[in-house]
Amino acid sequence: MKMPCWYYEKKDLRNTPSVKEGIDFDTERRYRKEGARFIMECGTAMGLGHNTMATGIVYFHRFYMFHSFRTFPRYVTACCCLLLAGKVEETPKKVKDIIKTAKGLLSEQKFLSFGDDPKEEVMTLERILLQTIKFDLQVDHPYGFLVKYAKCFKGDSTKLQKMVQMAWNFVNDSLSTTVCLQWEPEIIAVALIHLASKLSKFTVTDWTGKQPNHLRWWDMFVADVTMEILEDICHQVLDLYQQANNNAPTPDSPPQLPPSKASPPMKRAHLASPATKPEPTLVTPVKIGDDKLDSGAPIPKIISTDNLHYPYSAPYPPMYSHPPPYGSTAPPLPGAIPSASSTYPPSLFQQSSSAVPQHYTPSALPLGHPPAHASTYYQGPPGRQPYYPPPT
């Protein structure tokens, strides 16, 4: 059975079922961000790991590429995604416990979307979720790649650890965007390490396994990724902080009916799924050599690397209480998702900067073939072949 491709162009993200049913693009982005934040809050309250929460959020984003927010309330869907992610990541939680946690986090008006029998709503929606994602349950995240890449870097161990923690924070926040629907986790990890490197003023100039043909460190892992792609990912993540600084009041969403009352269950079960969705439009191939060879190519224009502090003046809401000033780790605000502190990766460099595992011999991704650890959905459409060209 051919597995679906989960990567889309930006024009596909502007033509989702929600948009077709009259929800504007900015509102849908807000719904996605609220759903992702809710999954993080529920998962944190229940003691779930970052991989389980991230898997649930990816399910959430994929689900709404085929269904509308008008038909399926985001908070019910979020609970369903967290339930399924717990099973897949072997950290299962009972439905009643997830619903109890959700009820404590949501207002009474928002909890009305769970209906008279919240457990039945979530259980019913789980079957629809499985059909929608075509039982493609395995999801890779940037976290593992981030740590893998960082272990190859050489330099001051203290600065390197702070840079990795900052990149880890950006990966957490990237889940509130749709970058997981646009790019593979390897590329997201490269982009956010690059962003953290620029902001922390730690330039990676040497790394284990460096070859003469490697112009930048990521050439060893992912071939022919342009600086434009990396900057686009960085901009999408940084847009979260711009939105957080916007003092304009966010309108409350109208109360939603539970899924069982929004449309007949049998009708919902036969809504479009990856099995019936047409293939994504092919992207224009990228020519090798179009990239800027200068590793210091401009990173987001809304930031500055001339000082050690981020030029954001307004306080962040709980979800985005970071990035912290360079050189310090701010504790999360009350009620915040602990993406800035408690989910940091383990310390990578306890000794000197030369303490790199001797047994580690990195090698570039085999061209033309996904890595052995990649799941079947990793294979992109033919339009992405320039990033993984066939072997010669």
135/158 same-domain check: no
**88-138: pLDDT as tens digits:** 999 999 999 999 999 999 999 999 999 999 999 999 999 999 999 999 999
73/206 same-domain check: no
pLDDT value of residue 214: 86
pLDDT band at 261 (very low <50, low <70, confident <90, very high): low
Domain residues for the domain of 74 are 1-139
pLDDT value of residue 170: 96
Res. 332: pLDDT tops 80? no
**61-82: pLDDT as tens digits:** 999 999 999 999 999 999 999 9
199/157 same-domain check: yes
Res. 302: pLDDT tops 50? no
pLDDT band at 252 (very low <50, low <70, confident <90, very high): low
Res. 34: pLDDT tops 50? yes
pLDDT value of residue 76: 96
Six-digit token string for 142: 């940037």
**271-284: pLDDT as tens digits:** 344 443 434 433 33
Specify the range with the lowest mean pLDDT, choosing from 154-158, 227-231, 298-302: 298-302
Q: Is residue 222 part of a domain?
A: yes
More confident residue, 139 or 329: 139
pLDDT value of residue 122: 96
Place of tokens 């740590």: 147
Q: Is residue 386 part of a domain?
A: no
When pLDDT is averaged across residues 230-243 and rounded to a whole number, the result is 92
DSSP H helices in the chain = 10-13, 17-20, 25-45, 50-63, 74-88, 95-105, 108-111, 118-132, 142-150, 157-174, 185-200, 227-245, 259-262, 265-269
pLDDT value of residue 206: 87
Contact 262, 70 (CB under 8 A): yes
pLDDT value of residue 257: 56
When pLDDT is averaged across residues 304-333 and rounded to a whole number, the result is 41
- 362 sits in the region (left: phi over 0; alpha: psi -120 to 50; else beta) called beta
Q: Is residue 300 part of a domain?
A: no
121/232 same-domain check: no
For the chain, the straight-line distance linking the first and the last C-alpha, in angstroms and rounded, comes to 28
124/203 same-domain check: no
89/122 same-domain check: yes
More confident residue, 277 or 238: 238
How many domains does the chain fold into?
A: 2
> Model-level pTM?
0.67
Res. 269: pLDDT tops 60? no
Final residue of a domain: which of 221, 250, 279? 250
Q: Is residue 279 part of a domain?
A: no
Res. 8: pLDDT tops 50? yes
Q: Is residue 305 part of a domain?
A: no
147/121 same-domain check: no
5/120 same-domain check: yes
Q: Is residue 269 part of a domain?
A: no
3-state secondary structure 96-143: HHHHHHHHHHCCHHHHHHHCCCHHHHHHHHHHHHHHHCCCCCCCCCHH
Q: What DSSP string describes 212-264?
A: TT-SSGGGGTSTT--HHHHHHHHHHHHHHHHHHH--SPPPPPPP---HHHHS-
Final residue of a domain: which of 98, 123, 139? 139
pLDDT value of residue 250: 56
114/179 same-domain check: no
Average pLDDT, the chain: 74
Final residue of a domain: which of 215, 250, 285? 250
Q: Is residue 301 part of a domain?
A: no
CA distance 199 to 309: 9
**373-386: pLDDT as tens digits:** 444 433 444 444 44
pLDDT value of residue 71: 94
What percentage of residues in the chain have a pLDDT greater than 90?
53
More confident residue, 368 or 99: 99
pLDDT value of residue 223: 82
**335-367: pLDDT as tens digits:** 544 444 444 455 554 444 444 444 444 444 443
pLDDT value of residue 253: 54
Res. 48: pLDDT tops 90? yes
148/128 same-domain check: no
CA distance 266 to 258: 15
CA distance 300 to 392: 36
The CATH number of the domain holding residue 127 is: 1.10.472.10
Place of tokens 């930031």: 303
pLDDT value of residue 258: 61
Q: Is residue 97 part of a domain?
A: yes
pLDDT value of residue 160: 92
9/82 same-domain check: yes
**198-235: pLDDT as tens digits:** 999 898 888 888 888 888 999 999 988 999 999 999 99
Residues 6 or more apart in contact with residue 289 via CB below 8 angstroms: none
CA distance 57 to 73: 15
From residue 52, give the alpha-carbon distance in Å to each of 42, 106, 154, 327, 343: 11, 21, 31, 29, 12
Q: Which residues in 52-91 are b (16+ Cβ under 10 Å) and which e? A: bbbbbbbbbbbbbbbbbbbbbbbbbbbbbbbbbbbebbeb
245/177 same-domain check: yes
